[in-house]
Amino acid sequence: MSAFYGFPDGKVLSGTEYGTLLLWEGNFIKCLVNTSPEENCHKGNIEVVFRHNEQIVTAGFDGYIRFWNSSAIDQAEGDDNLNFYIKPMKEILIMTNETVFLLIF
């Protein structure tokens, strides 16, 4: 885990290396947050998670910055497998993997 945000009520939202957001309540995972059963919030590691106004902002190794409804995630209830699906309110592509490759080498 490289990034997380703590909600005022004690829940914690953390990123994962495979692009899913985890909503923790105490020591237990309350929900696995993704955009659909087939698609994670990001492709690869989530590097940044923070709150700005009423939105959760995430940034991943895929080059996207995504904005999520904070209250929807805070109140999320997972299904029988703990899955909760939400679409981003907005997203910005800041660079592609090809751009990252060119910057590194």
pLDDT above 50: residue 102: no
Q: Break the chain into its structural domains and give their ranges.
A: 4-104
Nearest CA to 32 out of 87, 81, 66 is that of 81
Rounded CA gap, 61 and 38, in Å?
19
Provide Rg for the chain, Cα atoms. 14
pLDDT in tens, 23-67: 999 999 999 999 999 999 999 999 999 999 999 999 999 999 999
Q: Which fold has domain 4-104?
A: Lipocalin (2.40.128)
Q: pLDDT averaged over the chain? A: 92
Predicted local confidence at residue 2, as pLDDT:
83
